[in-house]
Amino acid sequence: MDLGAFSISLAVKDLERSRTFYAALGFERLDGDPAQGWLILRNGEAKIGLFQGMFDDNLITFNPSDARAIQRALKDAGYALDREADDGDGPAHLVIKDPDGNTILVDQH
């Protein structure tokens, strides 16, 4: 199962303050729209998503090429999903929690 790129998505209280902090650690803006409350930052291969007002908790995020195949594999293995991807084509995402309650977002762009 290829989970694709890995990043962490952080629920932040102040987007600009968080951007400034991570910039001091060498992260640069890769994508995002501050007016919509989100930024994607990169330092080498490391990526961090900053999200203000979108999530309650921090998320582990994977960006695969086929989220629906991952969803089928998880469901076939008996795992319950918190949110399922649709049956269509194109972008899709699903959400599952690990045994300790950590939220994992599988987000196909």
pLDDT reading at 1 higher than 90: no
To the nearest 10°, report the CA torsion of 16, 37, 46, 92: 180
Identify the pLDDT of residue 88: 86
Q: What is the tens place of the pLDDT at every residue in 75-102?
A: 999 999 999 999 888 899 999 999 999 9
Compute how many other C-beta atoms are within 10 angstroms of the C-beta atom of residue 83.
12
Nearest-5° angle of CA 76, CA 8, CA 18?
A: 155
Indicate the fold that domain 5-108 takes in CATH: 2,3-Dihydroxybiphenyl 1,2-Dioxygenase; domain 1 (3.10.180)
Q: What is the tens place of the pLDDT at every residue in 18-62?
A: 999 999 999 999 999 999 999 999 999 999 999 999 988 999 999
Domain boundaries, the chain: 5-108
